[in-house]
Amino acid sequence: MYNYLIVGAGLFGATFANLVKAAGKSVLVIDKRNHIAGNCYTENVEGINVHKYGAHIFHTSNKNVWNYVNSFVAFNRYTNSPIAKFKDKLYNLPFNMNTFNQLWGVQTPAEAMAKIEEQRHQANITEPKNLEEQARALVGGDIYEALIKEYTEKQWGRKCAELPASIIKRLPVRFTFDNNYFNDLYQGIPCGGYTALVEKMLEGIEVRLNTDFITSRNDLKSVADKIIYTGPIDEFFNHLFGKLEYRSLRFETETLDIPNYQGNAVVNYIDSKYPFTRIIEHKHFEFGSQPKTVITREYPDSWALGKERFYTVNDERNSNLYTKYKALAEQQSKYVFGGRLAEYKYYDMDDVIESAMNLAKKELANG
């Protein structure tokens, strides 16, 4: 008998397990996959840490979270600065003075602002109702057409006019020559990869892999006083109200016998003629100097039961459905639902850790 059974060895489960274990609780962590670390899992190939479920860059403004992750492993100085390729030309991201110079030849913030203002004025949008309108209102038609439209429509499999504006709101627009994709105070990649980080978090904790809670529920539900569930919430309730939708991804990874393929960790392929959205060259996350390189092409994919769940689709149907599951979850006194799948939420890693820290604090305060 354990105090806690934690379903899922991703960052939510690992953080919660680590904190309650340090406070003297007994814990068992299970995961249905054959590895720990959830979606930020990295696997060593040719000495390079390969991000198996897509590129993961740790960034946060939360000092507590930053100190917490740094207490397990050191983080390097990686700063995400993706390159976008459109019609065989390269542009810097996020949208900043370098991008404006590459697009229009403008050299000063005043010139760039005037250019964007002119296009915003032409678009004449006061209250953006969808992603296309949001983009046109934010950065004008040129940037929308060159760097947003085709990428976004590939990524989501829908027209920009049919997508929520919220998707694009987190992209920074800057009138400085600053290619840092994030605005956060702290950023980096754990030295040795994310698996090393989660391994440290789970040190001294019993972990059972290849163990699916849903299929072994009858045996597992009585092994602990309380269960922290980080799997899909609809699956927990046998899809009682229907399936929550996701957007999936497919990855094609190859090892190349050259030291440097694209000179950057992330290159976005905007044109619709490419079926993938980006190529990741993993060694550049850790400034690797290995003789070979590993690259991954990331293809957006529709989701069906059995495929990996990557992005939540937070439209009205799914939001209503989630509200129903959430109400049911709140009635389960033995269970707590947390993390990106159980809360059906686009969660960055730092937010997931913060949320698990808060839960651990609450649980420990209750004895």
**Positions marked catalytic:** 170, 174, 247, 278, 298, 346, 348
Please give the sequence-ordered ranges of beta strands (E in DSSP) within the chain, or none if there are none: 2-7, 27-30, 42-45, 48-51, 58-60, 83-86, 89-92, 186-188, 206-208, 224-229, 246-256, 266-269, 278-281, 293-302, 311-312, 335-337
Interaction of residue 57 with ligand FAD, rule CB under 6 A: yes
Q: Using CB under 6 A, which of the segments 255-263, 317-325, 346-354, 358-366 binds ligand FAD?
A: 346-354
Interaction of residue 267 with ligand FAD, rule CB under 6 A: no
CB 131 within 8 A of CB 138: no
CB of 114 to ligand UDP, least distance (A): 23
Ranges within 163-192 binding ligand UDP (CB under 6 A): 167-168, 171
CB 346 within 8 A of CB 312: yes
CB of 180 to ligand FAD, least distance (A): 13
Interaction of residue 56 with ligand FAD, rule CB under 6 A: yes
- According to CB under 6 A, which one of 27, 29, 40, 143 is a site residue for ligand FAD? 40
Q: Which two tokens stand for residue 87?
A: 């019609």
| φ, ψ for residue 89, nearest 5 deg | -115, 150
Angstrom CA distances, 314 to 100, 193, 240, 268, stand at 31, 30, 19, 24
Interaction of residue 213 with ligand FAD, rule CB under 6 A: yes
Calpha distance 123→117 (Å, rounded):
10
Interaction of residue 148 with ligand UDP, rule CB under 6 A: yes
Interaction of residue 341 with ligand FAD, rule CB under 6 A: yes
Interaction of residue 188 with ligand FAD, rule CB under 6 A: no
Interaction of residue 83 with ligand UDP, rule CB under 6 A: no
Strands 186-188 and 58-60: antiparallel
CB of 279 to ligand FAD, least distance (A): 14
CB 270 within 8 A of CB 155: no
Polymer length in residues for the chain: 367
Calpha distance 27→226 (Å, rounded):
10
Between residues 49 and 116, which has the closer beta carbon with respect to ligand FAD?
49
CB of 366 to ligand UDP, least distance (A): 35
CB of 234 to ligand FAD, least distance (A): 11
Angstrom CA distances, 45 to 99, 193, 290, 292, stand at 34, 12, 11, 10
- According to CB under 6 A, which one of 5, 6, 11, 265 is a site residue for ligand FAD? 11
Interaction of residue 32 with ligand FAD, rule CB under 6 A: yes
Between residues 116 and 189, which has the closer beta carbon with respect to ligand FAD?
189
Calpha distance 182→169 (Å, rounded):
13
Interaction of residue 310 with ligand FAD, rule CB under 6 A: yes
Number of residues that bind ligand FAD (CB under 6 A): 35
* 341 CB-contact burial (10 Å; exposed 0-12 / middle 13-18 / buried 19+): buried
CB of 349 to ligand UDP, least distance (A): 12
- According to CB under 6 A, which one of 42, 98, 152, 355 is a site residue for ligand UDP? 152
Calpha distance 268→276 (Å, rounded):
9
Q: Which residues contact ligand UDP by CB under 6 A?
A: 84, 93, 147-148, 151-152, 155, 167-168, 171, 268, 270
